[in-house]
Structure 1
Amino acid sequence: MGLGLIASIIVGGFAGWIASRLMEARTGLFANILLGIIGAFVLNLILSTLGIYAQNSWLPQLVVGVFGAILLIWVGRRFR
């Protein structure tokens, strides 16, 4: 059973918030949600090309979202 839209937004927001705290980024609520959701999407794409798939439940997606958001924050800082 997959995550619903509301659950994805909540998990994405939490993942973005965790990543912003770990990376000491000053982002707002909306940016945290976007970082978490887009980060999870990007990292899931990268991992799937390597044959690694995160289980479709909240905890694995939270972990992937946090690391994906950290990756996005890091890349964003490199281009500034």
Structure 2
Amino acid sequence: MVDFTYYPNPAKSELNIKSKSEINSITVYSIDGKRLYNNNSKVSEIKIDMSAYASGTYIFKLQFENQSATFKVTK
């Protein structure tokens, strides 16, 4: 299991993601499956700007070296 945190949830304008392991990619999807954001920079900490997203639920997929994690964030 990968040790990471994300906050705040619900998010208003920005979502913070912090991980003890390097994140290889971050992808954000709308609830209907449309890809809205993709970042392939290798980071352990990032802020995602959500100010342009409409209110609703978004699915975040983090890809690590040997595993992935998915979580939902409400705006």
TM-score relative to the length of structure 1? 0.26
TM-score relative to the length of structure 2? 0.27
Q: Per residue, is there more strand in 1 or in 2?
A: 2
Q: Which structure's relative contact order is higher, taking Cα pairs within 8 Å and 6+ residues apart?
A: 1
Q: Per residue, is there more helix in 1 or in 2?
A: 1
